[in-house]
Amino acid sequence: MKEERQKMKKSAVLIRLLPYLLQHRLLFVLCILLTIGGNLLGLAGPYFSGLAIDAIEPHRKAVDFSGVWRYAGIMAALYLLSAILSYLLTRLMVVISRRVVKQMREDVFSKLTELPVGYFDQNQTGDILSRISYDIDTINTSLSHDMVQIFASIVTVLGALAMMIAISPMLVLVFAFTVPLSVFLTKKITGFTRPLFRRRSAKLGELNGFVEEMISGQKTLRAYSQEENTVKKFDRQNDETVEAYYRADYYGSTTGPSVNFVNNLSLSLVSFLGAVLYLKHAISIGNISSFVLYSRKFSGPINEIANIIGELQSAFSAAERVFRLLDEAPETKDADGAAELNHAEGTVDLQDVHFGYLPGQEIIHDLSLHVPKGALVAIVGPTGAGKTTIVNLLMRFYDIDSGSITLDEKSIYDLTRRSLRLNYSMVLQDTWLFQGSVYDNVAYGSESATKEDVERVCRACSIHDYILSLPEGYDTVLNDDGANISKGQKQLMTIARAMLLPASLLILDEATSNVDTRTELQIQQAMRALMKDKTCFVIAHRLSTIRNADEILVVKDGEVVESGTHDSLMQENTFYKQLYNAQFA
C-alpha cells in the first residue's frame, strides 16, 4: 500500500503533536511542575527510610524509637502529598488530552471538507472513519496516560540516580552495565514491533471499510443470498486483523519482561556489592536500604517506560495515519485574482478538452461542445463513455489536463470554485438525505427558503401529497439517509432540493432512475417551467425520457460523436438510433 511505504519517523510524529500540546502551554507547564513536585516528594521517602533503619541499627547502644516514629511520619506525609499531586496531574492531563483530541478531530474533519473529490473516490469510507475515531482515540489514551507516565518516569529516574550517587558512587557502577543493556533491548524490540503496529492500524481501517460497505449494502447482499459468502469474507478480514493485533501485541509485550529481567539482575548485583561494602564498613545498612529503594525507583520507571514504549508504537502508528490525512493535498487553490461569479447567464463551452483520472489513462479525448444559455442538454452514451466525467469537469471536482472550459465566455479556472459551484444545482443517482425533518432536507442549501417555497417545488415534483400523508407532514423526521421512506421518494426530495436553489445551471446525473416513467415525465415538464432561462444538463440511460431535450450529445469513448435533437438523430442510421432502439429490442 502507498500508505505503508510512506513512513513517518517517531521524532516527526512527536514534533507534529507538540503544537497541539503547546496550545495549552500554561496547563502543560503546570503539569510539569506537578510532575516534578510529586516525584521529588516521592524520592524523599527512601532517604527517611534509611534514617529510620539506622536509628535502630544493632550496633547502636540505644534504639531511638522517637526518631523512627518521626522519620516514618515524615515518609507518610511526603507520600500522601505526592499522591495528591499525582492525582491532580492525572486530572489535568485528562483535561489537556481531551482538548487536544477535540482540536485534532476538528482539524481532521475540516481537512476532509478541503480534500478533492478524488480522495474520497480512492479511499474507503470506513478507513476514513477509523482515522477520525479509533486512531484519534488511541492518541488520546497515549496523551492522557502514557505521556504522563513517561515524563514522571524520567523525573524519577534522574532524581533516583542523583540520590544513589550521593549515597554510594561505587554501587552506581552496577547500572553502567545494566542501563545500556536495557536501552539496547528496548531499541531492538521497538524497531521490530513498530511496523507491526502500523500494519495493525491499517488492517483495522480495512476491516472498518469492509463492514461499512456491507452494512450499507444489506438489501443487495440479502437479495443475492450472499450472507454466507459475506460472512466468510468478513472472517478472512477479521482473521487478518486479529493476526495483526496478535503479532503487534505479542512482540510488543516482550519489551517489559526483557527490561524487567535486566532490572532484577541489577538489583541482585546491588545486593551483592552492597553486602561486600557493608562488611568493609563502607556503607550502613540504612544507606543500603535507601539505595535499594532508590534502585527500584530507578529501574522501575525504566521498566514502565519500556512497557509504555510498546504501547506508544500503536499511538505512533495511529498518529501517522491521522497526520498523513492532514498532509493530503487539498483542492488546488483558486488562481490569483480569481473572480467571484455572482449570477451566471448559463452559456457553457468546452474546447479541445483532454482528461484522465490517472496519468497516461485518458478518458476524455479532444472534447468540444457548445451549450447555449437556457438549453436543456441531454448527454447520452454507453457505460464508461465519460458522461459523468463531463459533469465532474464542469463542477471542477476534477481539473482538466488540457483544453479550456468557459462559462459565459469566462474560463472556469479564472473563477473561484465556491462561486462556480453555487451557480450549479446538482442531483445525483445516489441520493443523500440527513437525519432531520423533510423541510430541512428539501431546504438544505437554501437558507432563505420559506415553507411556501418548499411546498411549491415539492408540488412540482409530485411529492407534496406524499409528504402530507406522513405522520408530521413536512416536520416528519427522516431516519439516517432517509431509510424510512422509499428510494424513489428520496430521489424526488433531492430533485425538489435542487430546484429550490437559485442557481443558473442544473445537473441531473441519472437523477430520475428510481422513479417510474410517468412521474419522470411530470418532473421534466415541471422542471422546464421552473428552470426557464436556465441551462440544464441531463445524463440519462432511459433515452425515451429525453426526447424533448433541446440538444442531445452522444458521447462515445470520451468524445462527442453525434449531436442534435431526438428527431434529427433518429432520421439517419446514427449511433444514437442504435442505442434508442436497443432499449426496445
In the chain, what are the domain boundaries?
2-326, 348-582
Amino acid at the residue 134:
Y
Residues 545, 547, 548, 554, CA torsion sign: positive
**344 contacts 533 by C-beta, under 8 angstroms:** no
CA-CA distance, 391 to 447, in Å (whole number)?
25
Q: Which helix (H) or strand (E) is 144 found in, with range? A: none
pLDDT at 1: 41
Taking residue 58's Cβ as centre, other Cβ atoms within 10 Å add up to 6
* Grid cell digits, residue 109: 474533519
Instruction: Report how far apart, in Å, the C-alpha atoms of 366 and of each of 400, 401, 411, 564 are.
Output: 11, 11, 17, 19
Continuous H helices in 59-135: 65-114, 117-122, 125-130
pLDDT, one tens digit for every residue, the chain (585 residues): 444 444 566 667 777 877 887 788 888 788 888 888 887 887 777 777 777 777 665 555 555 567 777 877 887 888 888 889 888 888 888 888 888 888 888 898 888 888 888 888 888 777 888 888 888 888 877 766 676 677 777 777 888 888 888 888 888 777 777 777 877 877 777 777 778 877 887 888 788 778 877 776 766 677 667 778 888 888 888 888 888 888 888 777 777 777 778 777 877 777 777 787 877 777 777 777 777 777 777 776 766 676 676 667 777 778 888 888 888 888 888 888 888 888 888 899 989 989 888 887 888 888 888 888 888 888 888 877 778 888 889 888 888 999 999 998 899 999 998 888 888 888 877 777 877 888 888 888 787 888 888 898 888 888 888 889 888 888 888 876 556 677 778 878 888 888 888 788 888 877 666 666 666 666 666 666 666 678 888 887 767 667 778 888 888 877 778 888 888 888 888 888 888 787 766
273-308: string of b/e by CB count within 10 Å (b at 16+)?
bbeebeeeeebbbbbbbbbbbbbbbbbbbbbbbbbb
* Grid cell digits, residue 125: 469510507
Q: Bridge-partner residues for 559, per DSSP?
A: 556
CA-CA distance, 217 to 52, in Å (whole number)?
72
3-state secondary structure of 572: coil
CA-CA distance, 369 to 351, in Å (whole number)?
7
DSSP state of 335: P
CA-CA distance, 575 to 561, in Å (whole number)?
8
Instruction: Report how far apart, in Å, the C-alpha atoms of 93 and of each of 97, 247, 270, 301, 468 are.
Output: 6, 30, 36, 19, 53
**548 contacts 524 by C-beta, under 8 angstroms:** yes
pLDDT at 535: 87
Asked if CATH classification 3.40.50.300 holds for the domain at 348-582, the reply, yes or no, is: yes
**313 contacts 273 by C-beta, under 8 angstroms:** no
Residue (of 142, 53, 65) closest to 96 by Cα position: 142
| β 376-380/424-428 pair status | unpaired
CA-CA distance, 65 to 56, in Å (whole number)?
7
CA-CA distance, 10 to 17, in Å (whole number)?
11
* Grid cell digits, residue 364: 476524455
Query: Which backbone phi and psi does 434 adopt, to 5 degrees?
Result: -110, 170
Match 443470498 to its residue by C-alpha cell.
Answer: 225
376-380: strand order across its sheet: 424-428, 505-509, 535-539, 376-380, 551-556, 559-564
Continuous H helices in 280-373: 285-326
Taking residue 332's Cβ as centre, other Cβ atoms within 10 Å add up to 11
pLDDT at 57: 59
Residue (of 254, 240, 245) closest to 314 by Cα position: 245
Instruction: Report how far apart, in Å, the C-alpha atoms of 246 and of each of 150, 176, 200, 302 are.
Output: 25, 35, 9, 25
**75 contacts 87 by C-beta, under 8 angstroms:** no
pLDDT at 514: 61
Residue (of 482, 530, 490, 154) closest to 376 by Cα position: 530
CA-CA distance, 433 to 493, in Å (whole number)?
9
3-state secondary structure of 34: helix
CA-CA distance, 172 to 161, in Å (whole number)?
8
pLDDT at 2: 43
Q: Which helix (H) or strand (E) is 221 found in, with range? A: helix 218-223
CA-CA distance, 434 to 444, in Å (whole number)?
10
Residue (of 436, 442, 423) closest to 493 by Cα position: 442
pLDDT at 185: 78
Q: Which helix (H) or strand (E) is 177 found in, with range? A: helix 175-216
Match 482473521 to its residue by C-alpha cell.
Answer: 239
Residue (of 386, 379, 343) closest to 362 by Cα position: 386
CA-CA distance, 285 to 56, in Å (whole number)?
10
CA-CA distance, 213 to 348, in Å (whole number)?
37
**Domain 2-326: top CATH class:** mainly alpha
* Grid cell digits, residue 326: 492532514
Surface-to-core class of residue 134, CB atoms within 10 Å of its CB (0-12 exposed, 13-18 middle, 19+ buried): middle
pLDDT at 576: 83
